[in-house]
Amino acid sequence: MKLPFPAHADAVSHVVPAVAGTDLLQRLTTQIEAIVVGAPHAVRLALACLIGRGHLLIEDLPGVGKTTLAQTLATTLGLSFQRVQFTSDLLPADILGVSVYNTQTGTFTFHPGPIFSSVLLADEINRAPPKTQSALLEAMEERQVSVEGATRPLPDPFFVIATQNPTEQAGVFPLPESQLDRFLLRISLGFPDARAERELLTGGDRRARLAHLSAVITPARLRELQHEAQRAHVSAALLDYVQALLAATRTRAAPGLSPRAGLMLLAAARAWSLLAGRAYVLPEDLQAVFVPATAHRLTHSRLGARAARKSRRRSCAPSRSERSRPCPRRLHPQAAGSSCAPAGGGWRRPTPARCSSRTAASTSCRRDAASPSCARCC
């Protein structure tokens, strides 16, 4: 399906020469790229995610700089930072907090967990069981936490930067679709090129430089940038383009993208346009963030639909007409005319007769020079 490319006429009529704070955004990008070497596009996507008031999921192999990127973002933005290492024995109370009985006052005192920080790094989030993963659902969507009957708001701004290992590795619990849908973008750093890798090898440990970094922006200024991104103009033609993209993913084989995915796609595109110094969104902005904003939603929806079709096929038992037919599996040449009896909803291959080349002392088939192939067991 070829989607129409929207015209720029409506957007050009709303052109603003430059957005206030363009130099500030450039300094943010420069400082982060000085620590995270060889991934300029991933750094730009991470900044767009935070400016768009979303949460970031970094999926890649261990040792490529996922945690370093999260720590650099928090330090550069001047936000309070907490890191939680997700393990198989981690409990929800370890993240949200717990009430402890005070013997002096005779009351329970709530001790907030690491989630009550502006930036929460959920390191290797898919190593925790689903019960612990679900502790982040309310915080990521409503930016509040309900513990023991009381609702407590989270700081503003609030971001969750989660890292996860590939699902084919051992000891991981795949994130459910509801959890993945809370993340605005999913990015991957990948391996650096030869020049960036040489710079990493000769420059020493990059994490040691984090102690010497200073905040480039204040939380109040970051909130202003977020409001500026929300006010970025989106033309009617561009909205038609977004609707066409959403409709193209909704087929009979998979449910496709939800309306919330469309809203998040627009939020990411607005933030991307702000990083480019514009107060309006172009089709190129949508195309730049479309894959990071939708890939983790489309992949699981299609896999779920495919698994459902496979389970339906497996649950189908052969009909009466199929039971009288020969076994669809490949039969031995001497048993080609026989039929299989259905057993357990499937077909059972008939047991071939004992090979005449086998002896009582040897269970293996010995081929004769005159008969190069055994029709029953070889």
For residue range 199-226, what is the model confidence (pLDDT) as tens digits?
A: 888 877 777 788 788 888 888 899 999 9
Q: How many other CB atoms are there within 10 angstroms of residue 265's CB atom? A: 23
Query: Is 85 inside any structural domain?
Result: yes
Q: How confident is the model at residue 18 (pLDDT cuts 50, 70, 90)?
A: very low
Query: Looking at the predicted structure, is the pLDDT value of residue 353 above 80?
Result: no
Averaged confidence pLDDT in the chain:
77
User: Does residue 79 lie within any of the structural domains?
Assistant: yes
Domain assignment of residue 328, yes or no: no
Q: Can you give the pLDDT at residue 299?
A: 66
Q: What is the pLDDT of residue 10?
A: 43
CATH number of the domain at 259, please.
3.40.50.300
Q: How confident is the model at residue 19 (pLDDT cuts 50, 70, 90)?
A: low
Q: Which residues pair with 57 in a beta bridge?
A: 162, 186
Q: Buried b / exposed e across 131-153, counting CB within 10 Å, b at 16+?
A: ebbebbebbbeeeebebeeeeee
Question: Each residue of 302-313: pLDDT tens digit?
Answer: 444 444 455 445
The number of domains in the chain is: 1
Query: pLDDT digits over 79-90, tens only?
Result: 888 899 998 888
pLDDT band at 129 (very low <50, low <70, confident <90, very high): confident
pLDDT band at 171 (very low <50, low <70, confident <90, very high): confident
Side-chain half-sphere of 197: how many Cα atoms within 13 Å?
8
Q: What is the pLDDT of residue 67?
A: 83
Asked if 296 and 77 count as a contact pair (C-beta separation under 8 A), the reply is no
pLDDT given at position 253: 58
Residue 291 lies in a domain: yes
State how far the Cα of 240 lies from the Cα of 244, in Å rounded to an integer: 6
Which residue range(s) make up the domain with 146?
Answer: 9-311
Mean pLDDT calculated for residue range 16-43: 78
Predicted confidence (pLDDT) at residue 292 exceeds the cutoff of 50: yes
What is the value of pTM for the model shown?
0.70
Q: Is residue 179 scored above 60 in pLDDT?
A: yes
